[in-house]
Structure 1
Amino acid sequence: MPSKTSASRSGVTPTQSYYHPIPTEPETQYVIVLPRYYNPIRWRRGLIWLGSLLLIAAIVFLLWPSDPEVSVVRLRLEHLRVHTFPTLNLDITLDTTVKVRNRDFYSIDFNSLIVAIGYRGKQLGYVTSDHGHIKARGSSYINATLELKGVEIFSDVLPLIEDLAKGEITFDTVSRIGGQFGLFLFEFPLKGKVSCEIIVNTRNQTIEHQNCYPE
């Protein structure tokens, strides 16, 4: 049996084979998408916090005090007289009925109702009524009679004479209510105000026109 050395010397070259390995199938990659983790405890806590905030906001909205609504339901001139001697002065009797509406869910107590009358922006006099009580979401009617005698007019004498010549005098009235409301050891000031402009006929002593607006 010839050896590998003798075979090489005789010129015979052993057979050589070249091959590539058979490619294997590419690996398949899988991506698993998991749903977002749902924590029921966290969601429950969030809903509780949200509900608590809404409940607190509703309580504050219902209990926070608001000023009462004040409106004039009747304004009647009882008496008007102008004196020219020895000085120019006025006698006025004005009857007023004011409606006060409580918009809150609790009753309030008011200290007084003040009704004032003025001429050309200057106050001539006022009257103060007694204190009162208004139930929750209720209304109260308050009557006040303003009676002034011998009110002298100094700076507006000429305009007043002109108004007397025309037979009409324009007055300003202000009705103001004030008080306090107490809730849980806290006190809040309450106030309401309504102003009116009235045109009085000096010949028949009646109110020809009135325009009231809250402030």
Structure 2
Amino acid sequence: MITTVLLLLLSALVYVFWSSDPMVEVVRLHLNNIRIHTLPIINVDLSLYVTLKVRNLDVYSMDFTSLDVVVKYRGKRLGHVRSDHGHIRALGSSYVDAEIDLRGINVLSDVVSLLEDLGRGTVPFDIVTEVSGKLGLLFFEFPLKAKLSCEVLVNTHSQTIARQTCYPEVSRHCCLR
């Protein structure tokens, strides 16, 4: 009987203190403007405003050392923005705003696709978000990483997200042993 209780207690402690990756979610993506230049070469200016929600599911605080957001169009990296550091309390969440201002993006290889997408009124983007940080428990710190990939279809007329499909990418980090 005592062995069973101790085993259950040990299992509960492992479950509670086992570190898990933070959850990252794109809450809002707003297309500020998109401008196509044809002279002297074809390129694009793109301005996006992204709001991310980072949730800490653990019973101890989390400090993220970096949050990196990469924007891609049809597999081609357009640019990225990086946020430095932040703190998220235990079982809490935090919102991180990022403004991505890309100027003079060379899309010569994708210009036909881009013009077709603009003609339809929707442009597909891939947004990859990566969070790196540490979980703090008493005097111990444990590294963590989370990565979220989103396929986002932006309506250029209403400047809103028409469809968004996100999926976390599995990562391995150091755990409590």
The residue that corresponds to 1:139 in the other structure is 93
Structure 1 residues 1-215: aligned runs within 5 Å: 47-183=1-137, 185=140, 187-201=142-156, 204=157, 206-207=159-160, 209-215=162-168
The residue that corresponds to 2:173 in the other structure is none
TM-score if structure 2 supplies the norm length?
0.84
> Letter of the aligned partner of 1:171 in structure 2?
F
Separation of aligned partners in 1, 2:33 and 2:93:
29
Residue deviations 1:37-63, cap 9 Å, x none?
Answer: xxxxxxxxxx22222111111111000
Larger relative contact order, structure 1 or 2 (CA cutoff 8 Å, min sep 6): 2
Note the residue ranges of structure 2 that are not aligned, 5 or more in a row: 169-177
Taking only the aligned residue pairs, the percentage that are identical comes to 43
Separation of aligned partners in 2, 1:165 and 1:147:
22
Structure that is richer in strand per residue: 2
CA drift of 1:185 comes to 4.0
C-alpha spacing 1:175/1:51, structure 2 compared with 1 (3 Å): same
The residue that corresponds to 2:174 in the other structure is none
SS in 2 for 1:155: helix
Note the residue ranges of structure 1 that are not aligned, 5 or more in a row: 1-46
CA drift of 1:194 comes to 4.3
Residue deviations 1:113-134, cap 9 Å, x none?
Answer: 2122111112110101121000
Structure ID, larger Rg: 1
CA drift of 1:195 comes to 1.3
